[in-house]
Amino acid sequence: MSNLKYISLFIILLFIGIACTNLDEVWYSAVTPETFFKTEKDVNAALYRPFTHARWYVENDRWRLQEYPADQFAITTKGPHWYNGGENYRYHYHQWTVNDGWIWGTWRGTLMGVALALDTKQDLQNLDYSKVKLTEEDKASHLMQLQTLIAFFYLRGLDYFGGLPIFTSNEGENIPRSSDKETFEHVENLLKEALPKLPKKQQGEAEEGALKQAAAAAMLAQLYFNAEAYIGEDHFDECATICQDIIDGEYGYYELDDDWFGPHDFYNNKSPEIIWSTPSEFNKLQYNWFYADFYHYETYKYFGLDGGANNGAHLQPSRKPTGEIYTEFKLGKPFEKFDNEDLRKKPYIYRGSGKYEGMFLVGRQESPYGITRGTQEYKGEVIYFVDRVARFKKIGIEAPDTASLRSTMADGEENTGIRLVKVPQPNLADENLRNGADNPVIRLAEIYYMLAECKMRAGDKKTAANLINQVRARNFANREDPNPVTADNLDKYRMIDEWGIEFLGEGRRRTDLIRWNMFVTESWWDHKPSNSTHLCRFPVPQQAISGNNALQQNPGYE
């Protein structure tokens, strides 16, 4: 990292499109803020670079590490496709290794995010803002946003790996890992210092990706919320206090969206529920990484779009091959956890002009725009997505009947599993809306649920139920919930189910299971518990250790 400053400056030059043709004559090690930053545009270009990295970071492999080792999603082998050298199996069965790419990408991406934000922060710190016609208030906001972003990367890294190398400048290399506690305290201190110096969101203000007070407060609440898993300490009371303050408007104006789709739709930057999101624009910084993974090769016809997908990921099954709901385990079964009257449980259909209904591709895949037909086992047939995993086409060939079919990660077909459409897709007539939805990283519903869980753990189940029900109500016609949470039915399984229902596919499931001590102790579809607590942390990648012999491996992976 000793040369990161100069590498980052070169990246920034490329990013804003003003790299010189005489690069051999420019010594970037001699660049100073006064010579590089000439205008507000230059400052913003540098500021946006680490935020661009954050947009990438909250997607892709970080999402995969949260969801595929947990109980709601899977990538089954479908005929000859998606074995992927056993990678998908390793995560589902908790058999990952120190050489797995998702883990290396996440370690590297975490520290790269720290480096980019730290580099920019140090340069802007030394800049006279008046020379670029900006104010000291602008400078304070920029610096504290970058500090909060550094805290965010360390917070996520702590969740994945435990203690990390703590960098406070661009100098130094081969730095050893700090302890879990030291990393926890580093995140805590960064956020506490930044929080009061950040701006507050005003009523009616759109969310455009900037970090404000409530975002820093929410990250601090997240740190305390999971403190038992991180450092073995109970900080639920501190979390509850912060969550209540956010709800009460102490850190800016936020309120729950009236509609279930509001925090996710094409215009979700206007939702009063969004605390922090990463922007997405058509043909620019697209929030589209999931499209290829989730949807069938010909789902684009159902959507009325162009461009196929890879037919990989889907919800884990709620039902056995025979159609019976699994009763052998309590976790998982994500589609069946939604009440039948839940508006989200409808099949996804785009209605035009930015309006849509439903959140799943389920059942017969025929829409007003087209039909999804099979290309593999069901070639030419209309695809019917089922909430089951089995090779039904093998009946009469390798199995006498449905009851004889196996249901494991190796037994998928091209129509296996229900597909999530949390991020809406328009048709070609409204293609300008495609990938217009921003990625909500923190939203107010999470604050309600964190406070609810804290209240539940403190013995106040009535208040906990009321907080959850305030969010649940919008998911039903006329806000009439057929199965509200009550003090009597709220236990740890109902709580973890509520997290799974509201935040399905939002890249947090592993963390929630770990907090409830369920990640390595509970069963779900085709997954038996190992009771190996070291699996609650991922290993330090071998590539990282090979490049820095000061790094120590996590226990259990030596």
C-alpha span between 342 and 362 (Å, rounded)? 14
**Predicted pLDDT of residue 4:** 40
Per-residue pLDDT reduced to its tens digit, 370-410: 999 999 999 999 999 999 999 999 999 999 999 999 999 99
Domain-located, residue 390 = yes
**Has residue 167 been placed in a domain?**
yes
Cα torsion 337, 342, 347, 349: sign: negative
Instruction: Mention every residue, 6+ apart, whose C-beta is less than 8 A from residue 382.
Output: 364, 365, 366, 371, 372, 373, 374
How far apart are alpha carbons 183 and 186 in whole angstroms?
5
30-52 mean pLDDT: 83
Confidence of residue 539 (pLDDT cuts 50, 70, 90): very high
CB 361 within 8 A of CB 313: no
* Percent with pLDDT over 90 in the chain: 87
| One domain for residues 463 and 413 | no
Query: Among candidates 276, 152, 309, which has minimal Cα distance to 207?
Result: 276
Residue keyed to tokens 């250790």: 545
417: Cβ–Cβ under 8 A, 6 or more apart, which residues? 74, 76, 313, 314, 315, 316, 317, 385, 386, 387, 389
* Count of residues in the chain: 558
Alpha helix (H) residue ranges in 372-508: 444-457, 461-472, 492-502
**Residues 373, 521 within the same domain:** no
- 3 vs 71, higher pLDDT: 71
Residue 22 pLDDT? 37
pLDDT exceeds 60 at position 481: yes
| pLDDT digits 0-9 by tens, 301-360 | 999 999 889 999 999 999 999 999 999 999 999 999 999 999 999 999 999 999 999 999
d(CA 413, CA 314): 11
The predicted model gives 99-109 an average pLDDT of 97
Q: Are residues 71 and 191 in the same domain?
A: yes
Domain end among 388, 414, 434: 434
Other beta carbons within 10 Å of 15? 15
Q: In Å, how far are 8, 19, 119 from 23, measured between CA atoms?
A: 15, 8, 21
Residue 10 has pLDDT above 80, yes or no: no
Pairing of strands 274-278, 419-420: unpaired
- Residues 201 and 218: their CA atoms lie apart, in Å, by 14
403 and 305 in a common domain: yes
* Domain-ending residue, one of 399, 434, 469: 434
Q: pLDDT-derived band of residue 6, with 50, 70 and 90 as boundaries? A: very low
Which residue, of 387, 410, 434, is where some domain finishes?
434
Burial 186-206 (b: 16+ CB within 10 A, else e): bbbebbeebbebbbebeeeee
Model confidence over 236-290: pLDDT tens digits?
Answer: 999 999 999 999 999 999 999 999 999 999 999 999 999 999 987 655 556 677 8
Residue 274 lies in a domain: no
Got the DSSP string for 279-310? Answer: ---TTSS-S-HHHHHHS-TTHHHHHT-S----
* Nearest Cα residue to 524 out of 376, 336, 283: 336
**Same-domain status, 371 and 450:** no
CB 71 within 8 A of CB 332: yes
Q: Of the ranges 4-8, 195-199, 258-262, 440-444, which one carries the lowest mean pLDDT score?
A: 4-8
* 479 plus 398 within the same structural domain: no
| 460 and 430 inside one domain | no
Whichever domain contains 169, its CATH number is 1.25.40.390
Work out the mean pLDDT of the chain and round it to a whole number.
92
The pLDDT, as a whole number, for residue 32 is 59
Task: Give the residues across from 374 on adjacent strands.
Answer: 379
Both 311 and 165 in one domain: the answer is no
**351 and 446 inside one domain:** no
Task: Judge whether 263 lies within some domain.
Answer: no
Rounded to whole angstroms, the Cα distance separating 31 from 199 reads 30
Which residue range forms the structural domain that includes residue 485? 442-525
Number of Cβ within a 10 Å radius of residue 255:
12
User: Which tokens sit at 450?
Assistant: 């964190």
Predicted confidence at residue 8, as pLDDT, reads 40
Over 80: is that where the pLDDT of 514 sits? yes
**In this predicted structure, what is the pLDDT of residue 27?**
35
Domains contained in the chain, number: 3
> Within a domain: residue 284?
no
Q: Please report the sign of the dihedral spanned by the C-alpha atoms of residue 543, residue 219, residue 487, residue 336.
A: negative
How many Å apart are CA 99 and CA 454, to the nearest integer? 37
Give pLDDT, residue 33: 65
The rounded distance, in Å, linking the Cα atoms of 85 and 62 is: 20
> What was the pLDDT predicted at 286?
66
Reported as a pLDDT band with limits 50, 70 and 90, residue 411 is very high
Say if 211 falls within a structural domain: no
- State residue 435's pLDDT score: 83
Is the same domain home to 40 and 107?
A: yes
- 3-state SS assignment for residue 171: coil
Encoded tokens for 271: 């939702």
Residue 272 lies in a domain: no
How far is the C-alpha of 501 from the C-alpha of 113, rounded, in Å?
A: 30
Q: How confident is the model over 92-118, as a mean pLDDT?
A: 97
Based on the domain organization, do 425 and 447 belong to the same domain? Answer: no
Which among 296, 319, 316, 318 is positioned nearest to 307, based on CA atoms? 296
Does some domain include residue 223? no
Q: How far apart are CA 104 and CA 84, in angstroms?
A: 17
- Name the band, by pLDDT with cuts 50, 70 and 90, for residue 16: very low
296 and 421 share a domain?
yes
Residue 546: count of CB within 10 angstroms of its CB: 9
Identify the pLDDT of residue 392.
97
For 54-88, what is each residue's pLDDT tens digit? 999 999 999 999 999 999 999 999 988 999 889 99
